[in-house]
Structure 1
Amino acid sequence: MHQPDYREYQRGEYVLPWTYLHAMKDYTDMAFHLEQHPQARAVVNFVPILLEQLHDYEQQFRSGEIRDALLKMLKHERLDELGDEQRLHILDSCFKSDHAKMLKPYRAYQHLFDLLKVLEGHGRENVTYLSGQYLADLLVWYHLVWMGESLRRSSELVARLMTKGSQFTYAERMELFGLIGAVIADIVPRYRKLAERGQIEISSTPYNHPIMPLLIDFTAARESEPNAPLPQAVQYPGGLSRVHAHLANAMEGHRQNFGAPPHGMWPSEGGVSRATLKLLAEHGCEWTATGQAVLANSLLREMNDHPLPGSSGYLYKPYQVDTGGAPIYCFFRDDGLSDKVGFEYAKWKGDDAAADFVHHLEEILRHAPDEEEPVVTVILDGENAWEYYPYNAYYFLSELYAKLENHPDIRTTTFHECVQSLNDPKSKVTASKLHQMVAGSWVYGTFSTWIGSPDKNRGWDLLCDAKRSYDIVMASGRLTDEEKRLATLQLADCEGSDWFWWFGDYNSALSVASFDNLFRRNLSNLYRLLKLPPPLELQHVISVGSGDPAMGGTMRRSDGM
């Protein structure tokens, strides 16, 4: 579960709403399904910067000082008084979803969309004349369709508003506003309770979700892509110390949120290298995980490029990786099965999809040696897949958890339990040694999603320039301790992976523009916090999108197909 930091640090306002929208739709539903199936086990990964934003939203609701534009307008009493800019923000924001699953099924919401398109057909300027009641109805419907299916089935308020359909009053909007605040405040306690009763393991990620191998050494990209173009900068200045900081902050944040440090980490985007695994072990991680292609590349190097075994049995076990330091176990994602959940099963009936998933597991077991118990690792986003499923995957997930917890030969578990079982003489789970580790990620087994193209590399060069300025100013003694703290927080945001994920013409124009703008704004704010003028080149767009990727670009298939 991951969202980058959508705050604009100079004013503290949220530029994009995805953190709280996914909180009330997906993080609630994922907890609900686990609560309904107490014998099902899972690993839930929370990126620390997501948790920080959830706490920030909780504080906003508690104080009444809302710093998210859509939430602020949801509770605005007289929407007729809004200016053109605010009206356009509502109209541009409140139809952003998968229309097939989140708009067309709701006649009243579809009517609002159709009316807008008619007015736009007579000139974009006409839409600013829409009434305050239209804006109220649109704001309510947008938040209703982003509600988790578990909430729709349990909340009297949600059912009442969806039944009413239109002419929502200010009092009803405030009821909805209050429900959203309560849902967000309950997320971390719900998962902590699941962890305390032993049903889930909660893992973490480096604090602001940086691609650790690239922060340490850009040339790590060439381990899996020998001819990958690199940024002009030789390497990110002081990258090793920055990785240590992201890891230390993640460990401490996890302790504060869940009462203890995590046993393991999902490195940002499964980005690993020998150096990063060594650092993870040094920070107390007993396990980590990444993609299947990373294992294939590493085994091929270990076997001097001899072909891998025809059977994929090599995938279904943990590996103890030789890092030259403390031991760490690595689990490798079954890309085919994970991608079926992420991309294929949304088109199936829920029970058929769950049966197919279980059938794949049964086939893996059938082909396993008698003396071994295969460990199948399925990893995917906890938020982005479900809006493409009917009913936010309610039927698929309900059927899947039910089949898994009742199956005679399949047992769901956690990575920590799996590692612990290696010391149990009765366990048939075995681990192999892995002496080679080819740097890569879960996407294609490379880092091409974050580095290597002209616009991605330009983003890195701009970040490197800012980091060099940061180092000089921090050493100069010109800043107070508080000014240093704020500059370091802003730097950490700029080091996150998402900016580079979205650079690329294969992504949609709207998504690229949003993230390009926020990245340049963050870099500009960093210079201002350092009391330096932002470079003029930060006024120029880095990347322009023109594509139409699957799932809106929020997810990728591991094999690029």
Structure 2
Amino acid sequence: KSERYSELMKKKNRGEDFTEQDILDLKVLWNLYWINIEYIKADEELTALLNKDRGYSFDDLLYVINKQLEIMGTVIEKHKKLWESGKVELITSPFYHPILPILIEKGWKDDALGQIQRGLEYFQQLFGRKPQGLWPSEQAVDNELVPMLKDSGINWIVTDKSILQMAGVDTGNYKNIMKPYRVTNGNSDLIVFFRDTDLSDRIGFKYSTMSAESAVEDFISRLHELQHLNDSGKAVITIALDGENAWEHYPNNGNDFRKLLYMTLSNDVNLELLTPSQYISKYGVEDTLNYLPTGSWVGGSLDTWIGEKEENEAWNRVAAAREAFLKVKDSLLPDQVKLALDALYTAEGSDWFWWYGLDQDAGNNEVLFDMAFKKALIQLYRAIGTPEEDIPSYLFVVNKKPAISTSGAIGVIKPKIDGIIEENEWDKAAYYKDTEISSMAAEDDLIAGFHIGRDAANIYLAVELKRDPRTLIGEPLYLEVYTDLPGAEKINTTPRYPFKDEKDSFGFVLAKRFLVSFKSWKIRPGRLSNYNALGDGKWSVDPEFSSIENSAAIEEVVEIKIPLDALGVKTGQEFNLAVSISNSKEKVLLDYAPKSGPVHVQIPQAVTGKVVATFQDPKGDDYGFGSYKYPLNTAFEPYKGLWDIEWLKILENEQAVIFQLKFGEMTNPWNAPKGFSHQLINLYIDVKDGGRTDTYAEGARVSFSSEYPWDYFIKIAGWPSYGQLFATADGEEIPDVLQVEADPGEKIINVIVSKTALGSFNQMALYVLSGSQDGYGPDNFRAVTPEPTEWTLGGYPLDAGDFAPFVLDIIVPEGVTQEEVLSSYDKNSEKFAT
């Protein structure tokens, strides 16, 4: 670890400026620590620089950079020799790493094929021959790829076992995973290996927390367990994972683990190491599939790259630029076509869409990703000769991450629009305090903060000003509410009046503008004016809702009611919102909030059904068996209720069974796409004979009654990529049968399960577990330690070993207490709580 790097981080967090020496040290350390420690130890100069830790020179930086280039310069030749010797098999991927099924679904087959061919051509330039295999980006596949890849000379690919499940193969029977399949589509066929997701993920996510010896022993033991299924002698386990992401989390860059793993595998007489092509050549492929379902290795779906509002907008931007290119393509010179295709294919890469939306978080790099993506599209427009003034202005707007509310969530309220905040009237609303540092003069800094809530038909705001709003009546001031709009055809990139500081931005494109005029208030009190963007920076009165009477009030605060119909928003949709004050005489926007980013408003999808059962749970019991305490970080405020189930209702309609859970508190400090950051829900369902009494995966540290073994497992968290799982007791994970709809304002999570997944049943036994969501915890459960820390719960018994539960709240039948159940573990007999 570097003391200097830690010092610089603390200095940054204090908001202090870096000196030139600070920046130089940061550059050297950052680049130095990305070099594998074994290369550093093998180089005296790098070792000396590592030990030096500070006070670097520009020559030191040049040495580190040149060393990186030297190491990278050996990669191709080393791998070429390994391939020629048969030690490895090299493959490629589509050139700019696009999600091919999305391109195909959009009708862009030429682009998909172009990306594949570019990848193959570049590979051949480097290695002198084409590969037999191809790695589909993010293991995303569909049936149309079979002829496309076969015609390109590809013999085999690898994807996730969830795709095999969707093809109708029982992956609960492990033998079905332990072989490749020949997939046919018309006259074309392609060999597909389906990875062992469990073993692959152990390397990717689990073993970094273990010693190299324990991790390798665990891996080899699992292979030996599976050996008894190898009746034919042809069984193959396919390990496939991101090769670059795991090792930064391992001790010693994973060097110890990898060396020991390779040595142990090589020396094990019961195991044979083969490349895919070697396996095909030696053992052949007997099993066939007539269809390759659409999906990826992220939960079996493509949801990570498409579907969220920001992701869909980005795809629309690509589609518009692509259409502009195709219209003029035949008139372009070859060099222009090449430049345009380079830019288009770049913009189709998967990582832009990975980071867009709320399901993934690039931290401080999100703005850089956003502008790099938009720069590629700008380059495309320029390549085809588009005049600068005709390049879409939205490509010059920087997306901002949604602001985090100061308190509360956008819940259901019914305020009286009178400009006075009555007691409890706005309690279920979210509040955004304008505490951001601003470059504006003090007299222009008018907004103190605002409340925002909703009901079935309206959005409500109560805007607090730093001056008495009544004293501003008659002045040339507008209080404005700007929003975007799902599917808006015309958008503006700037508000009606420009920001005083041209670097300011709401952080989203603008479709709607609602206005309360202080100047004309005495003439038209209560009026809320409604404008639509024209797309050229101008605004026009909405022809249907030009003015909304009795929808605003100016007294102690400014209260506003905006009908959802006037917004053009329906249930289940989402939009961004910001509040501003402008001076119409000076024609300038004086103040706005929030400054960190827009308010992200989600209108919950209506959930309906007949209530068939209701279960109450004691309030304030999210403490496990009685002693567990909240982590210390402020993200866990208000330090109560976040995992506290208050009641469960089971509803039923024609299509689904709905599990509706009410929590004591629900906040979203990490902007989870489903609207809740903290809750981790595990539901175990028993509806038929047989089943399991252990948990689906290690994490909760509990077991279940042998009288009611479970048949189905449901896992819910605010991130669908890992928190929207339906699985059988056999280990089959079934996609597309589960939906999650949350109402953070009402603190309710609806788990909607298709009846096709549960099958027919007369009665149900249900286990309901609540834990603290941790993206890095075992099965996403947050750890409990003896004392609470910033990121762990406290109160773990010192004498419990690894057997006390990580579960914080459960629903129990009458006559039993949660404390009794969760304290029934026994370290001596190595027994979890039952």
Q: Assess same fold via TM > 0.5.
A: yes
Q: Which amino acid aligns with 1:276?
A: L
Answer whether contact 2:150 2:188 (CA < 8 A) is retained: yes
Write the distance in 1 (CA, Å) between the matches of 2:400 and 2:242: 25
State the percentage of identical aligned residues. Answer: 29
Determine the structure 1 residue equivalent to 2:280: 419
1:507 aligns with 2:388: no
Pick from 317, 327, 337 the counterpart of residue 484 of structure 1: 337
1:195-248 CA deviation, whole Å, 9 max, x = no partner?
Answer: 12211100011111111121111xxxxxxxxxxxxxxxxx34xx1111221122
**Alpha-carbon distance in 2 for matches of 1:507, 1:368:** 39
1:322, distance to aligned residue in structure 2 (A): 1.2
Aligned counterpart for 1:519 among listed residues 360, 369, 373: 373
Structure 2 equivalent of residue 530 of structure 1: 384
- 1:420-470 deviation line (CA, Å, top 9, x unaligned): 1135xxxxxx53111222111111111111112222111111111111101
SS at match of 1:378: coil
Q: Deviations over 1:292-341 (max 9, x none)?
A: 100011025xxxxxxx2642110010001112123211000111111111
User: 1:39-85 CA distances to partner (integer Å, 9 max, x unpaired)?
Assistant: xxxxxxxxxxxxxxxxxxxxxxxxxxxxxxxxxxxxxxxxxxxxxxx
Match of 2:195 in 1: 333
Paired with 1:496 and 1:208, the residues of 2 have a C-alpha distance of 5
CA 1:518 to 1:471, structure 2 compared with 1: closer, same or farther past 3 Å? same
SS at match of 1:201: coil
- Residue pair 1:354, 1:400 contacting (<8 A) in 2 also: yes
One-letter amino acid of the counterpart of residue 502, structure 1: W
Find out whether 1:110 has 2:2 as its counterpart: no
**Per the alignment, do residues 175 and 337 of structure 1 end up closer, same or farther by CA in structure 2, a change over 3 Å counting?**
same
Please show how residues 12-27 of structure 1 align to structure 2 within 5 Å.
none
2:76 is aligned with 1:188: yes
1:145 equivalent to 2:33? Answer yes
Q: Do the aligned partners of 2:171 and 2:177 also contact (CA within 8 Å) in 1?
A: no
Q: Is the 8 A contact 1:458 1:542 kept in 2?
A: no
Q: Mark the structure with the bigger radius of gyration.
A: 2
Tell me the amino acid that sits aligned with residue 5 of structure 2: Y
Which of 290, 297, 300 is 2:159 aligned to? Answer: 290
Change (3 A) 1:161 1:400: same
Residue 299 (str. 1) matches residue 168 (str. 2): yes
Pairwise CA distance, 1:173: 2.8
Counterpart residue identity of residue 318, structure 1 = P
The 5 Å alignment of 1:83-232 reads 105-114=1-10, 116-117=11-12, 121=14, 124=15, 126-128=16-18, 130=19, 132-217=20-105
Structure 1 residue 127: Cα displacement: 0.6
The separation in 2 between residues aligned to 1:438 and 1:558, in whole angstroms, is 22
Match of 1:539 in 2: 396
Q: Return the letter of the residue paired with 1:373.
A: K
Report whether the alignment pairs 1:357 with 2:219: yes
**Post-superposition offset of 1:373:** 2.5
- Which consecutive unaligned segments of at least 5 residues does structure 1 have? 1-104, 218-234, 301-307, 424-429, 550-555
- Matched residue of 1:289: which SS? strand
Aligned equivalents of 1:191 and 1:374: distance in 2? 27
Aligned partners of 1:277 and 1:323 also within 8 Å: yes
Equivalent pair of 1:463/1:523 in contact (CA under 8 Å): yes
How far did 1:542 drift? 5.4
8 Å CA contact 1:136–1:168 kept in 2: the answer is: yes
1:226-276 CA distance string (max 9 Å, x none): xxxxxxxxx34xx11112211222221111111100101011111111111
Does residue 378 (structure 1) correspond to residue 231 (structure 2)? The answer is: no
Between the aligned partners of 1:537 and 1:519, the Cα distance in structure 2 is 12
Other-structure match for 2:349: 496
CA contact (8 A) 1:272 1:439 kept: yes
The structural deviation recorded for 1:484 is: 1.7
Distance in 1 (alpha carbons) for counterparts of 2:265 and 2:671: 38
Distance 1:558-1:343 versus aligned 2 partners, 3 A rule? farther
| Offset from partner CA, 1:377-418 (integer Å, 9 cap, x none) | 111111111111111111111111111111111122111111
Give 1:343's aligned residue: 205
- Amino acid in the other structure paired with 1:294: I
Structure number having the greater strand percentage: 2
Alpha-carbon offset, residue 368 of structure 1: 2.9
Partner of 1:127, secondary structure, is: coil
Give the letter aligned to residue 147 of structure 1: I
What's the counterpart of residue 50 of structure 1?
none
- Structure 1 pair 327–559 and aligned structure 2 pair: CA distance change class (3 A): farther
Q: Distance in 2 between matches of 1:410 and 1:559?
A: 35
Q: Secondary structure at the match of 2:193?
A: strand
| Count of residues paired in the alignment | 410
Contact 1:450–1:497 (Cα < 8 Å) also in 2: yes
* 1:321 and 2:209 correspond: no
Structure having the larger proportion of residues in helix: 1
Alignment of 1:415-454 (within 5 A): 415-423=276-284, 431-454=286-309
Q: What TM-score, normalized to structure 2?
A: 0.47
CA contact (8 A) 2:135 2:157 kept: yes
Which amino acid in structure 2 is aligned with residue 534 of structure 1?
I
Q: What is the TM-score of this pair, normalised by structure 1?
A: 0.69
Would you say the 8 A contact 2:94–2:116 is kept in 1? yes
Instruction: Look up the SS of the partner of 2:89 in the other structure.
Output: strand
Cα 1:513–1:274 change in 2 (3 A) is same
Structure 1 pair 557–183 and aligned structure 2 pair: CA distance change class (3 A): farther
Cα offset, 1:170, TM superposition: 3.4
Which residue identity is paired with 2:341? T
Q: CA deviation at 1:557?
A: 6.0
Relative contact order higher in (CA < 8 Å, ≥ 6 apart): 1
Give the structure 2 partner of residue 264 of structure 1.
Answer: 133
